[in-house]
Amino acid sequence: MEEMKMNVRPTGNRGTWSKKAPAVAELGKKPPQALDLEEAVLGALMLEKDALTTVIDILRPNSFYKEAHQRIFKAILALFDKSEPIDILTVTHELRENGELELAGGAYYVTQLTTRVNSAANIEYHARIITENSIKRDLISISSEVLSSAFEDTTDVFELLDRTEAKLYEVSESNIRKNFDDMRSLMHAAIKELEEKRKQTDGLTGVPSGMTALDRVTSGWQKSDLIILAARPAMGKTAFVLSCLRNAAVDFKKGVAIFSLEMSSLQLVNRLISSEAELDSEKIKKGSLEDYEWAQLNHKISKLTEAPIFIDDTPGLSIRELRTKCRRLKAQYDIQMVIIDYLQLMSGNADGKSGGNREQEIASISRAMKMLAKELNVPVIALSQLSRAVETRGGDKRPQLSDLRESGSIEQDADMVLFLYRPEYYGITEDEMGNPTAGVGEVIIAKHRNGSLENVQLKFIGKYTKFTNLDSDFGGDGGFNALPNSSFDAETPGAIRLGSRMNDGTKGGGGFPASGFDDEPPF
């Protein structure tokens, strides 16, 4: 008979148990709690005026198990916010004014709390135990909900996974907070970082873009920075970030994740193939390649195939999904950069519906992206559209910070704001110096929180959908000399072109591919 009592099983109907269930219920467990420590902490807070500053970033009202203790702690926080003294009388008065004195146990119970402790000497230790029990209760609650939902046939399992991850992350973020750092430890870390930077003779301290003139200004994309790249449609935003992605992943072996909400994964890969093999993108799209072009393609994409590039083309990606996926990629593959193409196509929550207007939603997305950059300690590059005000403006139609579309918070949250500008798109054939603008793209650094504001000129090759170094970046006033592995540019006779890594098809050095030809058919 005793064995039958121990082997209790649910009956066919969910939520109903057999008659022997009460025998097991008697062996149930209480939720994690430490009521004696809760009383001691509340008593200490009313005994010493500085005790609250010790635990205010550790405890929340929900950290307390007993509801009366939650109400008392809320009253203490209210007094603190009003800069009023905290003691038995003021806490009792605050509870009475809010009509919660009886719910908190009455004046006698509040008074008795101060007898539970002599001083606030160990209040921080006690507070951490209370928080640990609170976290355990939250985990039990989440687990129970997951268990209940998992038994339901109508449950969307992927939605359940996403909701569970979000709640676990919320528990972690709300309870485990970063403490302040003292100057001694910060100075030690800063000196150590400077010593590491000193070893890098190329001056790059972040993730390189592969664009020499741009890296000269930025020293690479810096960790924890949010970089906004904005431009009007057809300026080449995607081509620019793909060029940067390729250079970082292939040449410098940095793991890069790109989230494409506009183009499919295969479309992005086709662009990368066109750029890497220097084959006309139209031919790639149609598949009309000659035999020598197939050989050229197979020869040049081997490095690209092995590159640590991760592409996600989930449409309507929410900021919660983005954060979850980035955390996984960081943990599994140690990604060093995140690219989002583009910001306005994202949604602020999982169902894609906005609780407020679009401007507020974009503001919340940009803030979340900055938090993501800090959390993962990687640069986050987000593409953004510009408003039509650029088109109606006279003159050379250069974009301005006020042209950022839908939210001024994008400018506020970003560490860098870059504008991509191609004069030839607007029919401008010469710049103010009389130089031709054909094939020239300009990166306008409109905001740079930790550096200078400059305009950087790059070469745009439309048929390969890529950006690369401009010839004038090397030699002359630029301060760079043409390297030994440079070659003459067939498209611009007489110009010197650096044998950059973007166009490198060699096996172990030199500026020419192993076949002896540079994108030209064999004679």
Closest by Cα among 215, 219, 263 to 242: 263
Check if the beta carbon of residue 399 is closer than 8 Å to that of residue 244.
Answer: no
Q: What are phi and psi of 141, to 5 degrees?
A: -65, -45
Kindly give, in sequence order, each residue whose CB lies less than 8 Å from that of residue 383, ignoring residues fewer than 6 positions away.
Answer: 228, 229, 230, 237, 238, 241, 339, 340, 341, 342, 343
DSSP string computed for 226-278: EEEEEE-TTS-HHHHHHHHHHIIIIIS---EEEEESSS-HHHHHHHHHHHHHT
Q: Say which amino acid occupies 521.
A: P
Provide the b/e sequence for 256-283 (b: ≥16 CB within 10 Å): bbbbbbebeeeebbbbbbbbbbbbbbee
Backbone angles phi, psi at 487, to 5 degrees: -135, 165
Q: How far apart are the C-alpha atoms of 345 and 408, rounded to whole Å? A: 17
What DSSP state is assigned to residue 116?
A: G
Cα(255)–Cα(95) distance, integer angstroms = 55
Residue type for position 168: L
Could you say which of 100, 132, 145, 262 is catalytic? 262
Kindly state the greatest CA–CA separation across the chain: 100
Listed residue (368, 339, 343) closest to 259, CA to CA: 339
Alpha-carbon dihedral sign for residues 38, 40, 44, 46: positive
Amino acid at 506: T
Determine the Cα–Cα distance for residues 201 and 25; give it in Å rounded to an integer.
Answer: 69
Q: What are phi and psi of 219, to 5 degrees?
A: 60, 30
361 to 210, 323, 366: CA distances (angstroms):
33, 16, 9
Note if 262 is an active site residue: yes
3-state secondary structure of 448: strand
Q: Strands across the sheet with 416-421, in order?
A: 309-312, 256-260, 337-341, 380-385, 226-231, 416-421, 440-448, 455-461, 466-469
H or E element at residue 523: none
Provide the residue count of the chain. Answer: 523
Catalytic (active-site) positions: 262
